[in-house]
Amino acid sequence: MSSPIQNRIDFLVERAKKQNPSINEKKIRAAYECAAGAHEGQKRRNGEPYIIHPVAVAEIIVEMGLDTDSICAGLLHDCIEDTQFDYRAIENKFGTSVAELVDGVTRLGMLRYSKEQEQFEDLRKMFMAMAKDIRVILIKLADRLHNARTFQYLPERKQRDKALETMEIYAPIAHRLGMSRIKWELEDLSLKVLDPIGYQEIVDGLEKQSSQHEEFLSHIQHNISEKLGEAGIQHTISGRIKHIYSIYRKMYAQHKTINEIYDICAVRVIVDTVTDCYNVLGYVHDLYKPIPGRFKDYISTPKPNGYQSLHTTVIGREGIPFEIQIRTEEMHKMAEYGVAAHWKYKQGLDKVGNEQAFAWIRQLLEAQQDTEAEDFIKAIKVDLFADEVFVFTPKGDVVNMPAGATPIDLAYAIHSAVGNRMVGAKINGRIAPIDSQLKNGDIVEILTSKETHGPSRDWVKIVKTTEARNKIKQWFKKECREENIEQGKAELDRELRANLLYNGFYENDEVQKNALNKFSFNTIDELYAAIGYGGITVTKVINKVKDDVLKLRRAQEKAEKILQPQPEKKKSRSQSGVIVEGIDNCLVKFARCCTPIPGDDIIGFITRGYGVSIHRKDCVNVRNSGAKDEENRWVNVWWDEDVLDRKSERFSTGLQISTRNRIGVLSDVATLLAQSHVNVHELSARDLNDGFGVINAMVDVSGVAQLDNIINRLKNTKGVLDVTRMADGT
């Protein structure tokens, strides 16, 4: 008797074979057996066997209509990260293509939704993976979709973090790739977590109106179907309620309740040919009155993600508006599954006609080369969320631009030379300001002159698209070097003086050298020029200079302190290894909050009845001590010179080791500590529930030098992300 999971695999294979008879059944079943063996014994948070997740991901991939290698990669996508299987094992068994897909998905799984600075490199890697093989992100979307379906099993904070990441990154990517079915489900599942009250309000409202909606849609479908039948047009028709997140956005944008939203019903008509699409539109407008301005022809002007359809909003006899979408079967598959539909119709993404669909990925990758982190993140979010407007050139060519784009954006979209020579623009035959926002249907003529001296610096703040912004910066970088140097130096000097860093920057070669190295410049003029043309913000430079100048000043203060007369140190050896100024043979104990060891800068605190407590000077309890009655209880202490010279005596200190969850990482850490010849008297580990973990260790060392050596060796251990001295003794 076969198991439920085995039955799902059988059904998965049969469905894949129906869609594509050339599917390699043997390879898919082998991938399942391999994944089942690798994940044996592992459980998901809901208690189910872990293999259910890879199978569910593979089912979504089959639903997309992808190829054999994609299905195999879906089954194996967690093997490299969570099991003993590595890239080489998968490559040997299933080929390079599957191994690269699994490796790509694994790398995307390591991305962390975080602050913009940290997010820059992660998103860049994601788009590079998409440009290399779009199947990587398709598999990742399938993985995220199934995880979103099980958000409820995560801790509450983790649910919100994952839902926000899904809403801000993965759902927009699905939209940009034309995968509306996945986009809507990701948004609905994320909304359920991010605003459960608002989500439930819409669900309850739709449930109360469900019978009215069914009756309304049934009546509409009957009328349209009857009319098209009389005209002899072959068709299929269906009705649906708009997605919850779509209704949610409309409610909050218009400040209405669910009962005040009327156009929540939609009808879709699918026909055989493009000609039939336009014929159906005519019959629909005969039956129902169209609402002016609510007709969109995405067949003649497809969206950038390849979406094609006719949209019209009409009013029925009941006075209720509703939307009708008209498209062919192929257009419908593209609307549902976007780029994934190419495997059904084009048999891959290397055919003619796909170049334009992915131009935006390449443009983003090109844009990041001369762009700072914040600008790149902003550009991605603008691009992913942007609504499009379609404008015409005087020759009738259609150009799509993001909402809010200006004639300058259009000029640079046509060619950089057009943008650089632009002196004005005509919109619908009339001279218009160059910062005008373009609207759908505008006919835009760019006015140019050979006499122009290039773009204005102010254009960088006006344009909407990253492409235009970068081309403007490139022009200034190339054509106005001397002017850039002059302007950049003036701007930098002004900020240096404002931050009291001028002398520190210009009087210390090391500070200048560090700043140039940080931003990859060879000379100070290159730095000035970059600031001048906008390649780097002066704030970035100031922050780096400030750090280096402060370090320099601290080093100088330390050197001056050494040259000052020091209190006479006791020559006799202390029992504790620490000498306390002005006190002989007192009880000394080492604070558990910071566990000082020989070589640390230390200070003493006179306790009531327990002698002197020794702290590191950077201890949080030292920094936060502000009570007046405690000011006189801090005393100077220093390590006995004999203790610093001896290597046999041991002092306890704590380490906090941040790790990525990996089988054997705790064993590797324990082995390394043993090889370092240190006594480990406490060792504990805990899972942080997000793919990371923490190992705490209390070790006995002779001093800072030995401890630093151990920390460096631990940082080179596979799976260890960081090692720090523990903030407390627990």
In the annotation, is 187 catalytic? no
458-460-466 Cα angle (round to 5): 165
Cβ distance 135 to 336 under 8 Å? no
Hey, what are 183's tokens? Answer: 């986009």
Q: Which of 59, 81, 375, 445 is catalytic?
A: 81
C-alpha–C-alpha distance, residues 277 and 296, integer Å: 13
Cβ distance 166 to 189 under 8 Å? yes
Most distant pair of Cα atoms in the chain: their distance: 112
Cβ distance 528 to 489 under 8 Å? yes
The DSSP annotation for 162-223 comes to HHHHIIIIIHHHHHHTT-HHHHHHHHHHHHHHH-HHHHHHHHHHHHHTHHHHHHHHHHHHHH
Task: Give the closest residue to 33 by CA, choosing from 62, 69, 2, 9.
Answer: 9
Hey, what are 590's tokens? Answer: 């080492």
Contacts of 702 (CB under 8 A, 6+ apart): 597, 598, 646, 647, 648, 649, 650, 651
Contacts of 340 (CB under 8 A, 6+ apart): 64, 65, 66, 138, 177, 179
Task: Give the closest residue to 49 by CA, choosing from 98, 4, 99.
Answer: 4
Hey, what are 310's tokens? Answer: 């006719």
Taking each helix axis from N to C terminus, what angle separates 4-19 and 52-64, rounded to the nearest 10 degrees?
Answer: 20
The DSSP annotation for 226-253 comes to HHHHHHT--EEEEEEEPPHHHHHHHHHH
3-state SS, residue 9: helix
**47 dihedral zone (left: phi>0; alpha: psi -120 to 50; beta):** left
Q: Which of 63, 69, 82, 100 is catalytic?
A: 82
Range 88-96, long-range pairs (CB < 8 A, 24+ positions): 93/30, 93/34, 94/27, 94/30, 94/31, 94/34, 94/69, 95/69
C-alpha–C-alpha distance, residues 177 and 155, integer Å: 31
**Beta-bridge partner residues of 388:** 402
**500 dihedral zone (left: phi>0; alpha: psi -120 to 50; beta):** left
In the annotation, is 383 catalytic? no
Active site (catalytic) residues: 81-82
